[in-house]
């Protein structure tokens, strides 16, 4: 049995040993950045890379990874200036014989584990997925630059925010499992569960219910459609949960608009997203700000056309008029017009959805994403093996 090396300097002379990578995430929920990290871990070539996970608290993703035989830990200690967390991370790195640390998201939890990694003289990759203009990135930007040997970003906006750092900054787009999200999934169970008629045309919005995700904006656009001659058998599905005050705001909005409420279902948070995508006709993403919205490539992989606001990397994901429609952000009228256009071009939506899937398979397949990140691991050890 080969004993994995304790640090990167040992690794250079023993490249045949699998590299043990500690993946660090502050949230253990099935959403956003943590879900992206989970898919990366489960997609690794285990002959080369062994994943170990660390979270800031227990949760469903912790249990899921353990069920997949991935060694998963919860680091709870904090202490003054994060010293307790740093000590706990140092112990974990030693116990698991970690060779490389992959930090997920711009959060203090990642920073403290990153400090521990550098104290152990291990190479660090920091995967940044947040809004480049948000507080998280602004507050931790210097730490990210200081602690990391490689910075992976998911958008051109983040790339610009960090500036060109030769050999250190790389853009890798998120990926989606195109086998799991596919045109062969049956959406009938989703429709049946929420009373959506089989013949209905369903617009769906997926994600956290909050202002930034444009939930109310979506409903304002839906209200315009309800009042038009295009309404017919059109329904609207709000898929996701949120803070109680945000959910109450949505309920209040619908309460004052009974005609819209009759055509709208609030599903709460759902687990089987491929089934959800199969059960809607068009995905609407009404966000006011995004980086790389995963929900778009999930819908497109499912063969669904999308209507999306022009934020973040949407311009690269959606080919306007070909794989979906792109509208200005925070404009309910423009959103309603695009949704109405979908109703008017129903016969060509299937072709649009087919082209959407083709693009995702070609550019955003999960296997492509995983291999791109694995290449960064290989290159990092080639260039910085003595760190």
Neighbours of 152 (CB within 10 A): 21
Domains of the chain: 8-175+365-384 (3.40.50.2000), 188-363 (3.40.50.2000)
Residues 12-39 pLDDT 10s: 444 568 999 999 998 888 777 888 899 9
Percent of the chain exceeding pLDDT 70 equals: 93
- State the average pLDDT over residues 250-272: 96
Q: Is the pLDDT of residue 386 over 50?
A: no
Asked whether the predicted pLDDT for residue 180 surpasses 80, the reply is yes
Q: pLDDT tens across 296-355, in order? A: 999 999 999 999 999 999 999 999 999 999 999 999 999 999 999 999 999 899 999 999
The per-residue pLDDT for 277 is 98
Mean pLDDT score, 226-233? 81
**pLDDT tens per residue across span 58-95:** 999 999 999 999 999 999 877 667 889 999 999 999 99
Q: Which pLDDT score is estimated for 8? A: 46
Contact 77, 87 (CB under 8 A): yes
Question: pTM of this prediction?
Answer: 0.88
CB count within 10 Å of CB 66 equals: 13
Q: For the chain, what is the radius of gyration of the CA atoms?
A: 22
pLDDT score recorded for residue 31 = 75
Q: Tell me how far apart the alpha carbons of residues 250 and 266 are, in angstroms, rounded to a whole number.
A: 9
């Amino acid at each position: 049995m080969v004993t994995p090396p304790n640090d990167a300097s040992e690794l250079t002379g023993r490249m045949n040993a699998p590299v043990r990578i500690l993946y660090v995430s502050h949230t253990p929920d099935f959403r956003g950045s943590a879900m992206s990290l989970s898919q990366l871990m489960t997609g690794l070539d285990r002959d080369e890379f062994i994943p170990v996970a660390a979270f800031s608290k227990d949760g469903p993703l912790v249990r899921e990874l353990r069920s997949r035989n991935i060694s998963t830990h919860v680091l709870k200690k904090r202490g003054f200036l994060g010293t307790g967390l740093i000590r706990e991370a140092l112990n974990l790195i030693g116990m698991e014989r970690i060779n490389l640390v992959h930090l997920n998201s711009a959060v203090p939890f990642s920073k403290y584990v990153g400090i521990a990694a550098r104290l152990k003289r291990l190479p660090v990759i920091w995967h940044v997925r947040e809004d480049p203009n948000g507080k998280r990135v602004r507050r931790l930007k210097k730490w990210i630059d200081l602690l990391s040997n490689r910075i992976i970003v998911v958008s051109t906006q983040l790339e610009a925010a960090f500036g060109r750092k030769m050999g250190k900054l790389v853009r890798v787009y998120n990926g989606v499992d195109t086998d799991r999200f596919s045109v062969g999934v049956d959406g009938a169970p989703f429709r049946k569960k929420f009373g959506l008629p089989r013949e209905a045309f369903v617009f769906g919005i997926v994600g956290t219910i909050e202002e930034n995700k444009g939930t109310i904006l979506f409903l304002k656009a839906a209200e315009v459609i309800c009042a038009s001659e295009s309404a017919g058998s059109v329904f609207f599905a709000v898929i996701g949960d949120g803070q109680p005050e945000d959910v109450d705001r949505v309920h209040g909005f619908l309460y004052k608009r009974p005609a819209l409420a009759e055509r709208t279902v609030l599903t709460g948070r759902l687990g089987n997203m491929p089934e959800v995508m199969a059960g809607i006709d068009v995905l609407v993403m009404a966000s006011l700000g995004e980086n790389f919205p995963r929900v778009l490539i999930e819908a497109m992989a499912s063969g669904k056309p999308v209507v999306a606001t022009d934020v973040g990397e949407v311009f690269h994901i959606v080919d306007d008029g070909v794989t979906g429609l792109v509208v200005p952000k925070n404009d309910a009228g423009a959103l309603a017009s695009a949704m109405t256009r979908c109703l008017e071009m129903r016969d060509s939506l299937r072709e649009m959805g087919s082209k959407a899937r083709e693009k995702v398979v070609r550019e955003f397949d999960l296997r492509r994403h995983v291999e791109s990140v694995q290449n960064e691991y290989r290159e990092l050890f080639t260039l910085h093996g003595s760190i």
